[in-house]
Chain A
């Protein structure tokens, strides 16, 4: 294999990474800016992080976002898992193609349209917009993602595990909770995390379906930016990036460890 670092390779890597990460790096750097002016460097300081925690508006929005995320991700995971189960288990029922198409359509539906149609619905049925409607809207948005993740795991699920459990005397309900669920749990957890992340960063649908008193963090940031970017927002975003990055890194390390351990075990087992 050719491992020489040609000038061309180095340039393309630097440009590529710069394209992806320069904006984020700038944001992080300026969150430690002493100056109130976002684009002028005035020395290192962490004062924006301190003032961030005293900004009641931002803290409220964070709390709303966290609650919306947890509730909508949880409900979406339950519904998405059920949809995935139906789609993989009952391969022959009337309208299956239509059903699967409808489950997955929101994946490609423009968010503006989803947001607008939800807004129209909530207005039509006279539902006051607020925390409840944002949560409902996020369930709608994220359910199909969960269904996709769980379904891909279920496709490779060995049905004879369930048959074996029933053969050994477990009722279908017990079989589901003691065998199926534990085996597909990793996929369900990833589905939940995906749903939570999607809910966390959604701005469009939240803007359509939210009302007074239920401003999510992305909405809050967006509205503040329109009044001018403050380093405080940079600080808030940096914390958000840190949380997401730590989560992703921990998850992949755990995954990698499990994989390596599994391979070692299997090799040991083959040796006897």
Chain B
């Protein structure tokens, strides 16, 4: 069986027409004065989904999250949670909880009191609160830190307290604003997997805002890529990477090579493209591109092979000169300057310790790729 990229888990309610979305943004617009932070945006998130909002800073992703939490009201449009319109409901009456980027731990309260804060607000009897707090401390492995104040904790421990506090009330939806932004790289990677396990264990819907594409790819079932207050694409990590629908998304997630050209000929499965310098390539996945249309062919570096001789079976092979090589250990990145001047980035996994076909600067080289290795996008 073939699949696009790797399958994370068997969970695809968005492909089921009978599934009702749990959170719905319907034509939501948010303006701050003259600035439009979110522009006529619609989005559906499903129950138990791990959903990521990915974008550069200022793209409106945090505003979206804050509207869901109730800290901002949409200028137009509406937000539904489990079918209920959230307009006018203040943050303290919404069944969602948020984990803040700064953690926002109450500095004058111990870890225990921080976690108990939300439970006290809803008037839970104190024996139950104690039980729940103990449970939460166990969940985030901070049992022996219960009596400490936030400033007596390390960054990673603070992050876990913030997490425990935000899930203590068993919210229907947990909102996470750059949850791992303040952690160092190694801790961040560990915590990503912990968050995924936690989401599975508690069966909650997670909406996470991040600017880190690797983080989004690792954790999320689906990713919404945002730019200038609009959603550019909503898809699984594999689809976003392997089948971007726009140049923006292709560029934003991972590295990509773009070949500009015109559709020369279309057949049932394949399309022949004439590049701007006259080179011809044959590709699949050309979507609705009509004959003579100006298009770009987008292909990821790891799907391009670099070799000193032209591979015998290559459908698409272009000649050039090795311009730069970066050896990164697990892989090697080649920059090849094609004869028409375009620079192509190709990466090769160093599966063996010894390279069969060593290339170096200024060597003549061939770059080749399969017809199904990339996608055709509108110019």
Residues 172-189 of A at the B interface (beta carbon under 8 Å): 174, 178-179, 182-183
Q: Decide: A170 near B102, CB < 8 A? Known: A163-B91, A268-B152.
A: no
Instruction: Tell me which residues across on chain B come within 8 A of A161, comparing CB atoms.
Output: 104, 106-107
- Which residue of chain B has its CB nearest to the CB of A175? B92
Instruction: Tell me which residues across on chain B come within 8 A of A167, comparing CB atoms.
Output: 69-70, 91-92, 96-98, 166
A270 is contacted by which of B91, B117, B154 (Cβ under 8 Å)? B154
A9 contacts chain B at the CB level, 8 A cutoff: no
Instruction: Tell me which residues across on chain B come within 8 A of A174, comparing CB atoms.
Output: 121
Instruction: Tell me which residues across on chain A come within 8 A of B71, comparing CB atoms.
Output: 163, 166
Instruction: Tell me which residues across on chain B come within 8 A of A262, comparing CB atoms.
Output: 151
Instruction: Tell me which residues across on chain B come within 8 A of A266, comparing CB atoms.
Output: 151-152
Instruction: Tell me which residues across on chain B come within 8 A of A171, comparing CB atoms.
Output: 92
Instruction: Tell me which residues across on chain A come within 8 A of B165, comparing CB atoms.
Output: 164, 168
Q: Are B117 and A165 in contact (CB under 8 A)?
A: yes
- Which residue of chain B has its CB nearest to the CB of A92? B33
B169 contacts chain A at the CB level, 8 A cutoff: yes
Q: Decide: A169 near B104, CB < 8 A? Known: A163-B91, A266-B151.
A: no
Residues 60-107 of B at the A interface (beta carbon under 8 Å): 69-71, 90-93, 96-98, 100-102, 104, 106-107
Q: Decide: A165 near B106, CB < 8 A? Known: A160-B100, A170-B92, A174-B121.
A: yes
Residues 108-166 of B at the A interface (beta carbon under 8 Å): 108, 117-118, 121-122, 149, 151-154, 157, 165-166
Q: Decide: A168 near B107, CB < 8 A? Known: A269-B151, A269-B153.
A: no
Q: Is the interface of A mostly helix, strand, loop or mixed?
A: helix
A265 contacts chain B at the CB level, 8 A cutoff: yes
Q: Decide: A166 near B91, CB < 8 A? Known: A160-B102, A174-B121, A183-B107.
A: yes
Residues 215-272 of A at the B interface (beta carbon under 8 Å): 262, 265-266, 268-270, 272
Q: Are A163 and B92 in contact (CB under 8 A)?
A: no
- Which residue of chain B has its CB nearest to the CB of A181? B108
Q: Are A168 and B153 in contact (CB under 8 A)?
A: no
> Which has the most chain B C-beta neighbours within 10 Å: A168, A171, A266, A272?
A168
Interface size class of A (residues with CB under 8 A): 20 to 34
B100 is contacted by which of A163, A170, A268, A269 (Cβ under 8 Å)? A163
Instruction: Tell me which residues across on chain B come within 8 A of A178, comparing CB atoms.
Output: 117
Complex Cα gap A65–B63 (Å): 53
- Which residue of chain A has its CB nearest to the CB of B162? A164
Instruction: Tell me which residues across on chain B come within 8 A of A179, comparing CB atoms.
Output: 106
Instruction: Tell me which residues across on chain A come within 8 A of B98, comparing CB atoms.
Output: 163-164, 167
Q: Are A158 and B153 in contact (CB under 8 A)?
A: no
Instruction: Tell me which residues across on chain B come within 8 A of A265, comparing CB atoms.
Output: 149, 151-152
Instruction: Tell me which residues across on chain B come within 8 A of A169, comparing CB atoms.
Output: 92-93, 118, 121-122, 169
Q: Are A183 and B121 in contact (CB under 8 A)?
A: no
Instruction: Tell me which residues across on chain B come within 8 A of A163, comparing CB atoms.
Output: 69, 71, 91, 98, 100, 104
Can you name 29 A-B pairs with beta carbons within 8 Å?
A160-B102, A161-B107, A163-B69, A163-B98, A163-B104, A164-B106, A164-B165, A165-B117, A166-B91, A167-B70, A167-B96, A167-B98, A167-B166, A168-B92, A168-B97, A168-B121, A168-B166, A169-B118, A169-B122, A170-B92, A170-B117, A170-B121, A174-B121, A178-B117, A182-B108, A183-B106, A262-B151, A269-B153, A269-B154
A-side residues, CB < 8 A to B, are: 158, 160-161, 163-171, 174, 178-179, 182-183, 262, 265-266, 268-270, 272
Given A161-B104, A167-B166, A269-B151, 16 extra CB contacts under 8 A? A160-B102, A160-B104, A164-B106, A164-B165, A166-B70, A166-B71, A166-B90, A166-B91, A169-B92, A170-B92, A170-B117, A182-B108, A262-B151, A265-B151, A266-B152, A269-B152
Q: Which 7 A-B residue pairs are closest in the complex by CB-CB distance?
A: A168-B118, A169-B121, A164-B104, A160-B104, A265-B152, A166-B91, A182-B108
